[in-house]
Each structure stands twice: as structure tokens, then as C-alpha cells.
């Protein structure tokens, strides 16, 4: 297997990307996929993503009797195919486990999320030799994708708590699209990755449309060779996400949208064709749903096989 190259892509991730409810990566809107192996032909794997937030937060960020804690756990199967040297197709199928705990409302919701299909084209690829014998590598990938409304959207949940955000859904109920670009540069064993993603949300049959979302990230990583053909790639960086407000029957939803700035820390361990990784994200600053929602830490673990 080739050396690990950092490819931070946001499926609709949603990014998600991936799926729905894009209040800056909370709910099923989180699409962070972590570090993927550089594969020559095919790759597939499993991801487990964990997000949580406080909804209906009081003034000054204080909790009230109406505040509830929401947990979004997702198990996701993903696969990638290279077509020639320039084209890459990827797909993800998530299964969500949503949970809400509060004094006024509690419940769970489990089921299939929104399936995502993405295509990328390699605009630039440069591999040069340094006098030290180590290589200098640069690459740029650009593409887009579509998110299918395979996850259930329940319109009744939108109005069950009129003072809450419309996050507690398995899917958006709409066909959504994304555009993405990824830049990766590596000199010797040190690399830099920059990525940007824009998600365009459609309107579902209930005339509800989640706000469009922009996200960007910067990651620095280091490749370390370990005994026994093991390779370790720790990484750290920053991420920014911003979402526009939702539209409900042509009316702007005040308790929606916002922005969040996060710090990220992770690591990848590879052995031959197998890659195992983990990532942790913590909010550094945020303003979600006019301050009525507060995102907590996020986490992700994954295992992948590349060949």
C-alpha cells in the first residue's frame, strides 16, 4: 500500500458529507470522514461518528428546565473506486442512532440515514525528488456529489417542540448537492491538507429546506515509521463551519443556522492494507441557532481496507 496521504473530504458529509439537519455539523449534518488511505484501485471501511449538543440553551449559555441534551451516533459504511488515474467515485451509507434527553421531552430515533454519492477529479498531481532523496508531493482534487433522501424525515417532529431546532431527524427528506475541493502537499514525512465544501440543500415535500452549509479545514500531519511494517500519522488542525438559516414554507426559521470554529486532533495507524484511525474535535467558538443551541465535543473512529 502507498504511504498514507491526508484526504479530508466532507461528504454530504453532510457533509456528511453525508446527511441532514445542517446546524454546523450537529444532528445528522456531520459529514467529517477523517483520514482516508491513498488507494490505487478500491477501498472500503466503517466509520463511527459521535456528536452531541445542548438545545434550547438559556441566556448566557445557561441551562434551563427546557434544555435538552441530544446525542447523534452514526455507523457508516463507505467505499471508494478509482477509475484510471484521475477519477474517483465514493459512496457512503449511514445508519443513525439519535437520542434526546430532557425534562420536557425525551426519546430515541434509529434508522437508515441519507445515502451519499460523490465523484472527484484530480486537477493536479506533482511528485518531485528532493536532493535528500525524499519526495515532494502535491495534489488537488475537485468534485461534487448528491445526497439521496433515504433517511426518514418526520414533519411532526418539527412542531412537537416549537422552541427547538429541527435537528432530530434521520434525513432531510430532500435531494441535496455538494461541491468540494481538496489540496494536499507533503514534503518528506510532513504534510498539509486544506479542504473546502459547499452543501446545497433542496426543499422536501413538506416545504422545509435546511440552510446551505460551507465548511473548511486545515490539517497538518506527520508520517512516522514504526517497527513491524507499522506506520503512524498523527494530525492536528482547525475546522470552520457555517450554515444559513432554514426555510419553512417560505418563512425563515430563526432558530437555525450559525457558525462554529473547532480544533481537531487525530491519528492514523496502518499495517499493510489496513488503516485504523480516530479523530477528536472540540469547539473553540460558536454561535448556533441564535445562541439557543450549543455544540459539544465530537469524535470519530474508523477502520478501512485499501487495495
Per residue in 188-246, pLDDT (tens digit) is 889 999 999 999 999 999 999 999 999 999 999 998 999 988 999 999 999 999 999 99
The SS3 of residue 105 is: coil
- Find the helix or strand (DSSP H, E) in which 112 lies: strand 107-112
In a domain, 142, yes or no: yes
- Find the helix or strand (DSSP H, E) in which 294 lies: strand 293-295
Pick the range with the lowest mean pLDDT from 130-139, 146-155, 276-285, 297-306.
130-139
State residue 243's pLDDT score.
92
List the CATH number of the domain containing 150. Answer: 2.40.128.130
* CA distances, 285 to each of 40, 49, 223, 242 (Å): 39, 21, 30, 12
* CA distances, 209 to each of 179, 246, 252 (Å): 18, 6, 10
Q: How many CA atoms lie within 13 A of 166 on its CB side?
A: 27
State residue 201's pLDDT score.
93
The SS3 of residue 174 is: coil
Say yes or no to pLDDT of 52 above 80: yes
What whole-number percentage of the chain has pLDDT above 70? Answer: 79
C-alpha cell read off for 230: 507499522
State residue 3's pLDDT score.
37
State residue 299's pLDDT score.
93
In a domain, 7, yes or no: no
Pick the range with the lowest mean pLDDT from 8-22, 193-207, 233-247, 288-302.
8-22
Distance (Å, rounded) from C-alpha 22 to C-alpha 306? 30
Q: How many domains does the chain have?
A: 1
pLDDT tens for each residue of 35-45: 455 556 888 99
In a domain, 254, yes or no: yes
State residue 22's pLDDT score.
57
Say yes or no to pLDDT of 16 above 50: no
Distance (Å, rounded) from C-alpha 209 to C-alpha 23? 12
Average confidence score pLDDT of the chain: 82
- Look up the pTM and report it: 0.84
Residue 109 CB contacts under 8 Å (≥ 6 apart), including other chains: 96, 98, 99, 168, 169, 170
In a domain, 8, yes or no: no
* CA distances, 65 to each of 58, 69, 199, 255, 292 (Å): 9, 12, 34, 18, 13
Please, which pLDDT band fits residue 134 given cuts at 50, 70 and 90?
low
pLDDT tens for each residue of 140-158: 999 999 999 999 998 887 7
Average pLDDT over residues 159-184: 80
Ramachandran angles phi, psi of 60, nearest 5°: 70, 15
Say yes or no to pLDDT of 28 above 60: no
In a domain, 121, yes or no: yes
In a domain, 11, yes or no: no
Pick the range with the lowest mean pLDDT from 36-50, 107-121, 201-215, 257-271.
36-50
The answer to whether the CB of 222 falls within 8 A of the CB of 189 is yes
State residue 13's pLDDT score.
29
Distance (Å, rounded) from C-alpha 120 to C-alpha 129? 26
State residue 42's pLDDT score.
86
* CA distances, 69 to each of 50, 143, 197, 218, 243 (Å): 13, 36, 28, 29, 21
Ramachandran angles phi, psi of 29, nearest 5°: -85, -5
The answer to whether the CB of 202 falls within 8 A of the CB of 213 is no
Residue with the bigger pLDDT between 293 and 281: it is: 281
Residue 114 CB contacts under 8 Å (≥ 6 apart), including other chains: 18, 19, 20, 28, 94, 147, 148, 149, 150, 151, 170, 171, 172, 176
In a domain, 267, yes or no: yes
State residue 242's pLDDT score.
93
Which has the closest alpha carbon to 223: 193, 251, 194? Answer: 193
Q: Which structural domain range is residue 292 located in?
A: 27-306
Please, which pLDDT band fits residue 15 given cuts at 50, 70 and 90?
very low
In a domain, 20, yes or no: no
Distance (Å, rounded) from C-alpha 24 to C-alpha 49? 15
Amino acid at each position: 500500500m502507498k504511504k498514507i496521504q491526508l484526504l479530508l473530504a466532507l461528504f454530504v458529509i453532510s457533509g456528511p458529507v453525508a446527511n441532514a439537519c445542517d446546524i454546523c455539523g450537529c444532528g445528522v449534518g456531520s459529514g467529517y470522514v477523517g483520514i482516508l488511505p491513498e488507494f490505487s484501485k478500491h477501498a472500503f471501511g466503517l466509520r463511527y461518528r459521535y456528536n452531541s449538543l445542548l438545545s434550547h440553551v438559556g441566556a448566557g449559555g445557561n441551562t434551563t428546565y427546557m434544555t435538552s441534551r441530544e446525542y447523534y451516533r452514526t455507523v457508516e459504511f463507505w467505499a471508494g473506486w478509482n477509475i484510471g488515474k484521475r477519477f474517483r467515485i465514493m459512496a457512503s451509507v449511514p445508519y443513525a442512532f439519535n437520542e434526546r434527553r430532557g425534562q420536557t421531552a425525551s426519546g430515541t430515533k434509529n434508522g437508515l440515514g441519507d445515502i451519499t454519492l460523490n465523484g472527484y477529479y484530480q486537477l493536479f498531481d506533482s511528485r518531485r525528488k528532493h536532493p535528500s532523496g525524499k519526495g515532494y508531493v502535491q495534489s488537488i482534487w475537485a468534485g461534487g456529489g448528491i445526497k439521496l433522501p433515504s433517511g426518514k424525515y418526520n414533519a411532526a417532529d418539527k412542531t412537537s417542540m416549537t422552541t427547538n431546532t429541527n435537528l432530530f431527524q434521520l434525513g432531510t427528506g430532500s435531494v441535496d448537492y455538494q461541491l468540494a475541493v481538496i489540496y494536499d502537499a507533503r514534503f518528506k514525512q510532513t504534510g498539509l491538507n486544506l479542504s473546502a465544501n459547499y452543501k446545497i440543500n433542496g426543499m422536501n415535500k413538506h416545504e422545509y429546506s435546511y440552510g446551505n452549509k460551507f465548511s473548511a479545514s486545515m490539517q497538518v500531519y506527520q508520517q512516522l515509521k514504526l517497527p513491524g511494517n507499522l506506520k503512524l500519522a498523527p494530525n492536528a488542525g482547525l475546522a470552520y463551519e457555517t450554515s444559513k438559516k432554514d426555510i419553512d414554507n417560505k418563512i425563515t426559521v430563526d432558530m437555525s443556522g450559525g457558525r462554529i470554529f473547532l480544533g481537531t486532533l487525530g491519528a492514523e495507524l496502518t499495517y499493510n492494507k489496513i488503516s485504523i484511525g480516530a479523530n477528536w474535535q472540540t469547539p473553540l467558538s460558536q454561535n448556533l441557532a441564535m445562541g439557543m443551541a450549543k455544540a459539544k465535543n465530537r469524535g470519530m473512529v474508523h477502520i478501512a481496507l485499501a487495495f
